[in-house]
Amino acid sequence: MPDSGTKVGLRGQLGELCYSSGLLHSLQKMRSWWRKDLRVLAYHRVMPLPDPATYDFDLELISATPEGFREQMQHLKARYHPMRLSDVAATLNAGKELPADAVVVTFDDGYDDNYHVAYPILRELGVPATFFVSTGHIDSGRPYAYDWLVHLILLSPAERLQLPELGIDLPMPSDRYERRAMAAMVLDHMKELDALTQTALTRRLAVAWNMPGEVAPPECRPMTWDQVREMHADGFEFGSHGVHHRMLSKLPPAELAFEICQSRDTLLREVGDAPLHMSYPVGGERAYDERVMDMTRDAGYELACNYIPGTNPQPASNRYALYRLAVERNMGTGWFAAMLTLPRLMSYPPSSRPTIQGGPACSH
Protein backbone atom coordinates (compact mmCIF):
# COMPACT_ATOMS: atom_id res chain seq x y z
CA MET A 1 0.00 0.00 0.00
CA PRO A 2 1.24 3.55 -0.66
CA ASP A 3 2.67 5.51 2.25
CA SER A 4 0.00 8.14 2.90
CA GLY A 5 1.76 9.90 5.73
CA THR A 6 -1.31 9.62 7.94
CA LYS A 7 -1.48 8.55 11.57
CA VAL A 8 -0.42 4.99 12.35
CA GLY A 9 -0.70 2.73 15.36
CA LEU A 10 -2.07 3.35 18.82
CA ARG A 11 -0.02 6.49 19.48
CA GLY A 12 -1.23 8.13 16.30
CA GLN A 13 -4.85 7.26 16.95
CA LEU A 14 -4.69 8.38 20.58
CA GLY A 15 -2.96 11.61 19.59
CA GLU A 16 -5.60 12.45 17.00
CA LEU A 17 -8.36 11.69 19.51
CA CYS A 18 -6.86 13.92 22.20
CA TYR A 19 -6.23 16.68 19.67
CA SER A 20 -9.70 16.66 18.14
CA SER A 21 -11.36 16.57 21.58
CA GLY A 22 -9.65 19.80 22.65
CA LEU A 23 -8.16 18.05 25.68
CA LEU A 24 -4.54 18.80 24.85
CA HIS A 25 -4.72 22.53 25.50
CA SER A 26 -5.81 22.02 29.11
CA LEU A 27 -3.26 19.26 29.61
CA GLN A 28 -0.52 21.49 28.25
CA LYS A 29 -1.37 24.29 30.67
CA MET A 30 -1.31 21.87 33.60
CA ARG A 31 1.96 20.34 32.49
CA SER A 32 3.71 23.68 31.92
CA TRP A 33 2.85 24.65 35.49
CA TRP A 34 4.51 21.66 37.16
CA ARG A 35 7.14 20.49 34.62
CA LYS A 36 9.37 23.06 32.93
CA ASP A 37 11.45 20.84 30.67
CA LEU A 38 13.12 21.76 27.40
CA ARG A 39 11.76 20.01 24.33
CA VAL A 40 14.03 19.71 21.29
CA LEU A 41 12.41 18.53 18.06
CA ALA A 42 14.49 16.56 15.55
CA TYR A 43 13.79 16.65 11.81
CA HIS A 44 15.72 15.43 8.80
CA ARG A 45 13.85 16.12 5.57
CA VAL A 46 10.67 18.01 4.66
CA MET A 47 9.36 17.06 1.23
CA PRO A 48 6.28 15.67 -0.55
CA LEU A 49 5.90 11.97 0.13
CA PRO A 50 7.23 10.05 -2.88
CA ASP A 51 5.94 6.78 -4.24
CA PRO A 52 7.92 4.07 -2.37
CA ALA A 53 7.83 1.93 -5.53
CA THR A 54 9.85 4.49 -7.50
CA TYR A 55 11.73 6.46 -4.82
CA ASP A 56 15.31 5.23 -4.72
CA PHE A 57 16.43 6.57 -1.32
CA ASP A 58 15.70 6.20 2.39
CA LEU A 59 12.06 6.95 3.20
CA GLU A 60 12.82 6.98 6.92
CA LEU A 61 14.65 10.30 6.58
CA ILE A 62 11.44 12.09 5.57
CA SER A 63 10.10 13.80 8.70
CA ALA A 64 7.10 15.66 7.29
CA THR A 65 5.37 16.83 4.15
CA PRO A 66 5.41 20.58 3.43
CA GLU A 67 1.75 20.82 4.44
CA GLY A 68 2.30 18.80 7.61
CA PHE A 69 5.37 20.79 8.56
CA ARG A 70 3.48 24.07 8.16
CA GLU A 71 0.70 22.82 10.43
CA GLN A 72 3.24 21.66 13.00
CA MET A 73 5.04 25.01 13.02
CA GLN A 74 1.74 26.90 13.25
CA HIS A 75 0.79 24.81 16.28
CA LEU A 76 4.22 25.35 17.78
CA LYS A 77 4.05 29.12 17.39
CA ALA A 78 0.49 29.35 18.73
CA ARG A 79 0.92 27.13 21.81
CA TYR A 80 4.63 27.05 22.73
CA HIS A 81 7.71 29.20 23.12
CA PRO A 82 10.04 28.48 20.17
CA MET A 83 13.66 29.37 20.95
CA ARG A 84 17.00 29.40 19.20
CA LEU A 85 19.50 26.93 20.60
CA SER A 86 21.87 29.81 21.26
CA ASP A 87 19.18 31.49 23.37
CA VAL A 88 18.91 28.30 25.40
CA ALA A 89 22.69 28.32 25.89
CA ALA A 90 22.68 32.00 26.90
CA THR A 91 19.93 31.36 29.45
CA LEU A 92 21.81 28.40 30.93
CA ASN A 93 25.09 30.34 30.99
CA ALA A 94 23.36 33.12 32.93
CA GLY A 95 22.03 30.62 35.47
CA LYS A 96 18.42 31.50 34.64
CA GLU A 97 15.38 29.31 34.11
CA LEU A 98 14.03 28.67 30.64
CA PRO A 99 10.54 29.96 29.89
CA ALA A 100 7.64 27.55 30.23
CA ASP A 101 6.95 25.44 27.13
CA ALA A 102 10.36 26.15 25.57
CA VAL A 103 10.83 24.24 22.30
CA VAL A 104 13.78 24.17 19.90
CA VAL A 105 13.42 23.03 16.27
CA THR A 106 16.47 21.23 14.88
CA PHE A 107 17.37 19.57 11.58
CA ASP A 108 20.09 16.98 10.99
CA ASP A 109 22.29 16.30 7.93
CA GLY A 110 21.75 19.31 5.64
CA TYR A 111 19.58 18.13 2.74
CA ASP A 112 18.67 20.89 0.30
CA ASP A 113 14.94 20.51 0.97
CA ASN A 114 15.78 22.19 4.28
CA TYR A 115 16.51 25.27 2.17
CA HIS A 116 13.84 24.91 -0.50
CA VAL A 117 10.93 23.72 1.68
CA ALA A 118 11.49 24.09 5.44
CA TYR A 119 13.30 27.44 5.42
CA PRO A 120 10.56 29.45 3.63
CA ILE A 121 7.91 28.09 6.01
CA LEU A 122 9.98 28.84 9.10
CA ARG A 123 10.83 32.33 7.82
CA GLU A 124 7.20 33.12 7.00
CA LEU A 125 5.94 31.97 10.40
CA GLY A 126 8.83 33.47 12.36
CA VAL A 127 9.86 30.17 13.97
CA PRO A 128 13.61 29.87 14.72
CA ALA A 129 15.52 26.69 13.98
CA THR A 130 19.00 25.19 14.17
CA PHE A 131 20.37 23.20 11.23
CA PHE A 132 23.11 20.67 11.96
CA VAL A 133 25.09 20.04 8.77
CA SER A 134 27.81 17.56 7.83
CA THR A 135 30.28 20.06 6.43
CA GLY A 136 32.13 17.65 4.15
CA HIS A 137 28.94 16.93 2.23
CA ILE A 138 28.16 20.64 1.86
CA ASP A 139 31.72 21.06 0.53
CA SER A 140 31.57 18.18 -1.95
CA GLY A 141 27.92 17.80 -2.89
CA ARG A 142 28.26 14.04 -2.42
CA PRO A 143 25.27 12.06 -1.08
CA TYR A 144 25.18 11.02 2.56
CA ALA A 145 26.67 7.57 2.98
CA TYR A 146 23.79 5.86 4.81
CA ASP A 147 21.25 7.17 2.30
CA TRP A 148 23.53 6.09 -0.55
CA LEU A 149 23.79 2.60 0.91
CA VAL A 150 19.99 2.32 0.81
CA HIS A 151 20.12 3.55 -2.80
CA LEU A 152 22.75 0.94 -3.66
CA ILE A 153 20.71 -1.93 -2.24
CA LEU A 154 17.48 -0.74 -3.87
CA LEU A 155 19.06 -0.57 -7.34
CA SER A 156 21.84 -3.15 -7.20
CA PRO A 157 22.12 -5.49 -10.20
CA ALA A 158 23.80 -8.13 -7.98
CA GLU A 159 22.11 -11.46 -7.42
CA ARG A 160 23.36 -11.70 -3.85
CA LEU A 161 24.17 -9.26 -1.07
CA GLN A 162 27.57 -10.33 0.25
CA LEU A 163 28.84 -8.40 3.28
CA PRO A 164 31.55 -10.46 5.00
CA GLU A 165 32.06 -7.58 7.46
CA LEU A 166 28.61 -8.41 8.85
CA GLY A 167 28.50 -12.13 8.12
CA ILE A 168 25.75 -11.53 5.54
CA ASP A 169 25.37 -13.53 2.32
CA LEU A 170 21.78 -13.39 1.13
CA PRO A 171 19.96 -13.55 -2.20
CA MET A 172 18.97 -10.11 -3.41
CA PRO A 173 15.15 -9.85 -3.44
CA SER A 174 13.40 -8.68 -6.57
CA ASP A 175 10.62 -6.99 -4.59
CA ARG A 176 11.24 -3.31 -3.74
CA TYR A 177 9.56 -3.58 -0.32
CA GLU A 178 11.78 -6.53 0.60
CA ARG A 179 14.87 -4.62 -0.55
CA ARG A 180 13.91 -1.72 1.71
CA ALA A 181 13.62 -4.13 4.62
CA MET A 182 17.01 -5.59 3.74
CA ALA A 183 18.57 -2.11 3.59
CA ALA A 184 17.13 -1.24 7.01
CA MET A 185 18.57 -4.46 8.44
CA VAL A 186 22.00 -3.71 6.98
CA LEU A 187 21.98 -0.14 8.31
CA ASP A 188 21.17 -1.35 11.79
CA HIS A 189 23.83 -4.05 11.81
CA MET A 190 26.60 -2.00 10.20
CA LYS A 191 26.36 0.60 12.99
CA GLU A 192 28.01 -1.97 15.25
CA LEU A 193 31.14 -1.71 13.11
CA ASP A 194 33.81 0.93 13.58
CA ALA A 195 33.15 4.05 11.51
CA LEU A 196 36.02 3.59 9.05
CA THR A 197 34.90 0.04 8.27
CA GLN A 198 31.39 1.36 7.64
CA THR A 199 32.78 3.83 5.12
CA ALA A 200 34.88 1.18 3.42
CA LEU A 201 31.89 -1.18 3.16
CA THR A 202 29.75 1.40 1.35
CA ARG A 203 32.59 2.40 -0.97
CA ARG A 204 33.31 -1.24 -1.82
CA LEU A 205 29.70 -1.85 -2.84
CA ALA A 206 29.60 1.38 -4.86
CA VAL A 207 32.68 0.31 -6.82
CA ALA A 208 31.56 -3.30 -7.25
CA TRP A 209 28.15 -2.24 -8.53
CA ASN A 210 29.47 0.72 -10.57
CA MET A 211 27.38 3.25 -8.62
CA PRO A 212 30.07 5.66 -7.35
CA GLY A 213 27.94 8.50 -5.98
CA GLU A 214 30.41 11.25 -6.80
CA VAL A 215 27.58 13.75 -7.21
CA ALA A 216 24.28 13.50 -5.36
CA PRO A 217 21.17 13.11 -7.52
CA PRO A 218 18.49 15.80 -7.08
CA GLU A 219 16.48 13.57 -4.72
CA CYS A 220 19.22 13.47 -2.08
CA ARG A 221 21.29 16.61 -2.65
CA PRO A 222 22.96 18.48 0.23
CA MET A 223 22.62 22.23 0.63
CA THR A 224 25.28 24.55 -0.75
CA TRP A 225 27.27 27.05 1.27
CA ASP A 226 25.50 29.89 -0.55
CA GLN A 227 22.19 28.53 0.70
CA VAL A 228 23.59 28.11 4.21
CA ARG A 229 24.86 31.70 4.25
CA GLU A 230 21.51 33.02 3.03
CA MET A 231 19.66 31.21 5.81
CA HIS A 232 22.21 32.30 8.39
CA ALA A 233 21.84 35.93 7.29
CA ASP A 234 18.10 35.51 7.95
CA GLY A 235 18.79 34.54 11.57
CA PHE A 236 18.81 30.75 11.33
CA GLU A 237 21.57 28.93 13.19
CA PHE A 238 23.93 26.28 11.91
CA GLY A 239 25.75 23.68 13.95
CA SER A 240 28.04 20.73 13.36
CA HIS A 241 26.93 17.26 12.36
CA GLY A 242 30.53 16.21 11.85
CA VAL A 243 32.43 16.36 8.58
CA HIS A 244 31.52 13.02 6.96
CA HIS A 245 28.50 11.99 9.09
CA ARG A 246 30.46 9.27 10.89
CA MET A 247 29.57 7.77 14.26
CA LEU A 248 31.94 9.68 16.50
CA SER A 249 32.27 7.10 19.26
CA LYS A 250 33.45 4.56 16.68
CA LEU A 251 36.37 6.62 15.38
CA PRO A 252 40.04 6.43 16.41
CA PRO A 253 41.34 9.50 18.28
CA ALA A 254 42.81 11.38 15.31
CA GLU A 255 39.70 10.91 13.16
CA LEU A 256 37.44 11.90 16.03
CA ALA A 257 39.42 15.12 16.54
CA PHE A 258 39.20 15.83 12.80
CA GLU A 259 35.40 15.41 12.67
CA ILE A 260 34.78 17.69 15.65
CA CYS A 261 37.42 20.35 15.02
CA GLN A 262 37.37 20.51 11.22
CA SER A 263 33.57 20.87 11.12
CA ARG A 264 33.85 23.63 13.71
CA ASP A 265 36.51 25.48 11.72
CA THR A 266 34.55 25.14 8.47
CA LEU A 267 31.40 26.56 10.04
CA LEU A 268 33.32 29.49 11.51
CA ARG A 269 34.85 30.17 8.09
CA GLU A 270 31.59 29.94 6.15
CA VAL A 271 29.06 31.60 8.48
CA GLY A 272 31.25 33.68 10.74
CA ASP A 273 31.87 33.79 14.46
CA ALA A 274 28.61 32.40 15.89
CA PRO A 275 27.61 30.19 18.83
CA LEU A 276 28.67 26.61 18.19
CA HIS A 277 26.42 23.60 18.73
CA MET A 278 26.76 19.91 17.86
CA SER A 279 24.42 17.08 16.91
CA TYR A 280 26.14 13.70 17.13
CA PRO A 281 25.68 11.81 13.83
CA VAL A 282 23.27 8.88 14.28
CA GLY A 283 23.02 10.07 17.89
CA GLY A 284 21.82 6.92 19.62
CA GLU A 285 23.45 4.94 22.41
CA ARG A 286 26.16 3.61 20.12
CA ALA A 287 27.09 6.94 18.52
CA TYR A 288 28.66 8.99 21.33
CA ASP A 289 30.22 8.58 24.75
CA GLU A 290 32.11 10.53 27.42
CA ARG A 291 35.16 10.78 25.19
CA VAL A 292 33.06 12.43 22.45
CA MET A 293 31.30 14.77 24.87
CA ASP A 294 34.56 15.85 26.46
CA MET A 295 36.12 16.71 23.13
CA THR A 296 32.98 18.51 21.98
CA ARG A 297 33.08 20.67 25.09
CA ASP A 298 36.84 21.27 24.82
CA ALA A 299 36.47 22.30 21.17
CA GLY A 300 34.25 25.21 22.22
CA TYR A 301 30.77 23.89 21.49
CA GLU A 302 28.14 25.24 23.89
CA LEU A 303 25.45 22.56 23.54
CA ALA A 304 25.14 19.15 21.90
CA CYS A 305 22.17 16.96 21.00
CA ASN A 306 21.80 13.22 20.74
CA TYR A 307 19.00 11.27 19.02
CA ILE A 308 17.65 9.53 22.10
CA PRO A 309 13.96 10.33 22.68
CA GLY A 310 13.05 12.41 25.68
CA THR A 311 12.85 15.90 27.12
CA ASN A 312 15.34 17.79 29.30
CA PRO A 313 14.04 18.70 32.78
CA GLN A 314 17.40 20.21 33.76
CA PRO A 315 19.20 20.98 30.49
CA ALA A 316 22.16 22.55 32.29
CA SER A 317 23.03 19.11 33.65
CA ASN A 318 23.07 17.35 30.25
CA ARG A 319 23.96 20.23 27.93
CA TYR A 320 26.26 17.91 25.92
CA ALA A 321 23.66 15.16 25.65
CA LEU A 322 20.32 16.89 25.08
CA TYR A 323 17.49 14.48 24.35
CA ARG A 324 15.24 15.15 21.36
CA LEU A 325 11.79 14.22 20.12
CA ALA A 326 11.97 12.80 16.60
CA VAL A 327 9.28 13.85 14.13
CA GLU A 328 8.33 11.09 11.69
CA ARG A 329 6.63 11.28 8.31
CA ASN A 330 3.49 9.42 9.44
CA MET A 331 2.94 11.81 12.34
CA GLY A 332 -0.26 13.78 11.80
CA THR A 333 -0.85 17.14 13.45
CA GLY A 334 -2.76 15.54 16.30
CA TRP A 335 -0.01 13.08 17.08
CA PHE A 336 2.57 15.87 16.86
CA ALA A 337 0.58 18.05 19.25
CA ALA A 338 0.07 15.14 21.64
CA MET A 339 3.78 14.32 21.60
CA LEU A 340 4.62 17.88 22.64
CA THR A 341 2.03 17.80 25.40
CA LEU A 342 2.62 14.24 26.62
CA PRO A 343 6.11 13.31 25.41
CA ARG A 344 6.56 10.33 27.74
CA LEU A 345 3.36 8.75 26.49
CA MET A 346 3.48 9.74 22.83
CA SER A 347 7.18 9.14 22.08
CA TYR A 348 9.50 6.30 22.96
CA PRO A 349 11.27 6.46 26.35
CA PRO A 350 14.98 7.27 26.45
CA SER A 351 17.38 4.44 27.18
CA SER A 352 20.65 4.41 29.07
CA ARG A 353 23.97 4.15 27.27
CA PRO A 354 27.50 3.09 28.24
CA THR A 355 30.25 5.66 28.56
CA ILE A 356 33.94 5.54 27.80
CA GLN A 357 36.48 7.74 29.55
CA GLY A 358 39.43 9.52 27.99
CA GLY A 359 40.34 10.94 24.59
CA PRO A 360 42.55 13.49 22.84
CA ALA A 361 42.12 17.23 22.85
CA CYS A 362 41.85 19.56 19.89
CA SER A 363 42.78 23.21 19.85
CA HIS A 364 40.21 25.98 19.52
What single-letter DSSP state applies at residue 117? I
3-state helix, strand, coil in the chain (%, to 5): 45, 15, 40
Res 355: pLDDT: 32
Rg, the chain, Cα only: 20
d(CA 215, CA 237): 26
Q: What is the pTM of this model?
A: 0.92
Res 360: pLDDT: 38
**Residue 109 forms beta bridges with which residues?**
133
SS3 state of residue 185: helix
d(CA 60, CA 183): 11
Residue 229 neighbours by CB under 8 Å, 6+ apart: 270, 271
Looking from the CA of 40 toward its CB, the CA atoms found within 13 Å total 31
d(CA 224, CA 231): 11
Res 8: pLDDT: 63
Res 344: pLDDT: 85
d(CA 337, CA 200): 41
Ordered per-residue pLDDT tens for the chain, 364 residues? 345 455 567 777 888 888 888 888 888 777 776 778 999 999 999 999 999 999 999 999 999 999 999 999 999 999 999 999 999 999 999 999 999 999 999 999 999 999 999 999 999 999 999 999 999 999 999 999 999 999 999 999 999 999 999 999 999 999 999 999 999 999 999 999 999 999 999 999 999 999 999 999 999 999 999 999 999 999 999 999 999 999 999 999 999 999 999 999 999 999 987 779 999 999 999 999 999 999 999 999 999 999 999 999 999 999 999 999 999 998 989 999 999 998 888 885 444 333 323 333 444 4
Where along the chain do its domains lie? 9-141+222-346, 145-208
* Chain centroid to CA 235: 20
Angle at 235 between CA 284 and CA 67, to 5 degrees: 65
Fold entry, domain 9-141+222-346:
TIM Barrel (3.20.20)
Cβ burial, residue 316 (10 Å; 0-12/13-18/19+) = middle
